[in-house]
Amino acid sequence: MVFKKTIFKYEIAVPFFGFIPDDIMPVWNFYTQNFYLSSYICPECGKLMMKTVFPNDYPFETNDGIKKVPRIFTCGDCKTLHIPAPGYKLSSNNGYYYKAKSDEEFEKIIKKIDKNGSLIGRQNTLYNEN
Hey, what's the torsion of the CAs at 67, 77, 79, 111, to 10 degrees? 80
Q: What is the pLDDT of residue 54?
A: 92
When pLDDT is cut at 50, 70 and 90, the band that residue 34 belongs to is very high
Cα R_g (the chain), whole angstroms = 14
Of 85, 102, 86, 83, the closest CA to residue 94 belongs to: 85
Instruction: Please give the mean pLDDT across all residues of the chain.
Output: 87
Q: Label residue 128 by pLDDT band (50, 70, 90).
A: very low
Give the model's pLDDT for residue 19: 74
Question: pLDDT tens across 47-95, in order?
Answer: 999 999 998 899 999 999 999 999 999 999 999 999 999 989 999 999 9
> In the Cβ-directed half-sphere of 118, how many Cα atoms lie within 13 Å?
11
pLDDT for 125: 54
- 12 φ/ψ angles, rounded to the nearest 5 degrees: -90, 135
- Is pLDDT at 103 greater than 70 in this prediction? yes
Put simply, whether the predicted model's pTM sits higher than 0.75 gets the answer yes
